[in-house]
Amino acid sequence: MLFFTITSCNTETSQTTYTTSPANQANHVNIDTHLKISFDSKPVIGNTGLIKVYEQGTDSLVDVLDLSIPSGPTEARKNPDATYTQEPYTYKSSTATNANTKPGTPSGTADPTSDAYQLTIIGGFTDAFHFYPIIVHDTTAIITLHHNLLEYGKTYYVQIDSTVLRDVSFKGIYDKNQWTFRTKKEKPDLSKQQLVIDQNGTGDFNTLQGALDYIPEFSKDTTTITIHKGVYEDLIYFRNKSNIKIEGTGQEETVLQYANNEVFNPHPWNVKTNEWPGTFPSRRAAFMLDNCRNIQLTNLSIKTLLKGQAEGLLINGKKILVKDVTIVGDGDALQTNGTAYFEHVTINGGGDMILGRGAAFFKDCDFTSPGPFMWVRNTKNNHGNIFVNCSFTGIREGGSELARAPGNKGNSYPYAEAVLINCKLKNIVPKGWGPVGIETESLHYWEYNSTHIDTGDAVDVSDRAAYSKQLNPQKDQKRIKDYSDPQFILQDWSPEAF
């Protein structure tokens, strides 16, 4: 990482020494770089002042962050007059960015997003996201610019008002020669089908979002994105992408996280969101892939840092593979819609930890939750959630429920499917399952060979809910075999083929 040490002083106060990244006069900087200032003590984010980035030579203003604008809402809001969208949301091909479109511009039937909070367009979603312009870790202030505004082969200078950071005797940066940097001259060569992410600037991009934005929509070529070791605090959203492999260096080494939830990035004021195809896209997860195909996530962790309705990972797509990944969230820690395969995945979350309409196949996965572990909302047109050789650890006093499917705002889920085959359980209520709707004839709450995590003994299922079923090894032999096969569950898709 390139740093540059600056000493700021005047006759009335002691000197303040800080380092910047990119360093002053740095070259070959990635266009998605964060701006970082490190002090000897922890800075405090101010609530006034501007951060400005100019193009050197022309002095044209490229970006401005106004610290008087709050990052996002901190209290939930409700609009009883909001309605479900009357027409399916369409994922049009788009080149919209902060450079050519006003953040908050509606992309569907929603009203424009208010500019009362910080807004940035991410992944072409013009309705935009609330975000944190500055995040402080230890003694470093990390500045996130509006996405996609820096260009290749340009020199920029940064100016920061003294009120932006407090409690470190920071006098601001006003001299246009005090913090300059030049971006890389050339774009990465996509024909190599390989992109490298390193937050220290040694890769093709500093952020995963930068790489995802660079890959064309629905590319036929498979691109592998390798993320080097580090904690990457960025909101991730991408749509209309295909054939991308995203790989970290390990679940403990590569961590993607952000503080996001339904309060901070709520659904539009005038539009309700639901679980059916065509609903307005959600903006509340830390990591969101939307209307995508053939995406693979491996060897990393994904976390949201807030509570509430807060997904770590939200999937809306087909043929999505997640392997050797840790997911941390709260309610709805994982939302999965469309065909998805999970192997050696660990999920820690709150109630309704796994949400969505399926179909999803889980193999050798570990789940920890107060329960219910899931609220499956599939229809008769596809399977729900299938678990083979997985473990469920309930952490609610008195035991946790495996799943529930009650009515929800007029919607019911008579075809909800949650099937456990050769799974290990701990602290699950004797009934096993939570409340469901009136119609249970087509409900598939099935178990086969559930055992205790600690002892390996068979679980006592004598008090299981009447609407659930224990599969018989003789009578249900074919069914057990079929439901143990991901290709049978995932609409004839074989995950190994990707």
Residue 359 pLDDT > 90 = yes
Q: Can you read off the two tokens belonging to residue 439?
A: 């119609």
Tell me how far apart the alpha carbons of residues 445 and 452 are, in angstroms, rounded to a whole number: 19
Q: What is the dihedral of CA 204, 342, 393, 443, to 10 degrees?
A: 140
> What confidence tier does 218 reach under pLDDT thresholds 50, 70, 90?
very high
**Which pLDDT score, from 0 to 100, does residue 213 have?**
98
CB atoms within 10 A of CB 57: 9
pLDDT for residue 479 is more than 80: yes
The DSSP H or E segment spanning 120 is strand 120-122
Q: Is the pLDDT of residue 167 over 90?
A: no
CB neighbours of residue 478 within 10 Å = 8
- What is the percent of the chain with per-residue pLDDT over 70, rounded to a whole number? 96
Instruction: State yes or no: pLDDT of 1 exceeds 60.
Output: no
Q: Is residue 171 predicted with pLDDT exceeding 90?
A: yes
Beta-carbon contacts of 353 under 8 Å, excluding residues fewer than 6 positions away, are: 329, 331, 332, 333, 334, 347, 367, 369, 371, 372, 373, 374
Rounded average pLDDT over 184-196: 98
Encode pLDDT of 104-138 as tens digits: 999 988 999 999 999 999 999 999 999 999 999 99
Structure tokens at 248: 């970290």
Report helix, strand or coil for 481. Answer: helix
pLDDT band at 12 (very low <50, low <70, confident <90, very high): very low
Phi, psi of 357 (to 5 degrees): -105, 0
The pLDDT value given to residue 469: 98
Question: What is the fold, at CATH topology level, of the domain defined by 191-497?
Answer: Pectate Lyase C-like (2.160.20)
Structure tokens at 392: 């469920």
Nearest Cα to Cα of residue 37 among 171, 197, 184:
171
Span 330-336, average pLDDT: 95
How far, in Å, CA of 402 to CA of 435, rounded?
Answer: 11
pLDDT of residue 411: 79
Q: What is the tens place of the pLDDT at every residue in 416-429?
A: 999 999 999 999 99
The reported pLDDT for the residue numbered 368 is: 98
Q: Tell me the average pLDDT across 252-262.
A: 98
Report the C-alpha gap between 402 and 418 in whole angstroms: 9
Residue by residue, what is the 3-state secondary structure of 378-437?
A: CCCCCCCEEEECCEEEECCCCCECCECECCECCECCCCCEEEEECCEEECECCCCCCCEC
Q: What is the pLDDT of residue 239?
A: 97
Residue 8 banded pLDDT, cuts 50, 70, 90:
very low
The CA–CA distances, whole Å, from 458 to 16, 387, 461 equal 66, 17, 9
Task: Provide the pLDDT for residue 498.
Answer: 60
- Tally Cβ neighbours within 10 Å of residue 54: 19
Say how far apart CA 288 and CA 205 lie, in whole Å.
19
Domain boundaries, the chain: 191-497
Is 42 a residue whose pLDDT tops 60?
yes
What residues contact residue 470 under an 8 Å CB cut-off, 6+ apart? 446, 447, 448, 461, 464
* C-alpha–C-alpha distance, residues 250 and 324, integer Å: 8
Token pair for 13: 């106060």
- pLDDT above 50 for 89: yes
Distance of CA 383 to CAs 234, 340, 442, Å? 33, 11, 12
pTM metric for this prediction: 0.95
As to burial, measured by CB atoms within 10 angstroms (0-12 exposed, 13-18 middle, 19+ buried), residue 306 is middle
Segment among 72-81, 274-283, 305-314, 383-392 with least mean pLDDT: 274-283
65-79, 124-138, 261-275, 340-354: range with lowest mean pLDDT: 261-275
Higher pLDDT, 278 or 231: 231
With bands split at pLDDT 50, 70 and 90, how would you rate the model's confidence at 13? very low
E-assigned strands of 184-330? Answer: 194-197, 223-227, 230-233, 236-239, 242-247, 254-258, 271-272, 287-304, 313-328
Cis before residue 370, ω within 30 degrees of 0? no
Confidence of residue 278 (pLDDT cuts 50, 70, 90): confident
Mean pLDDT of the chain: 94
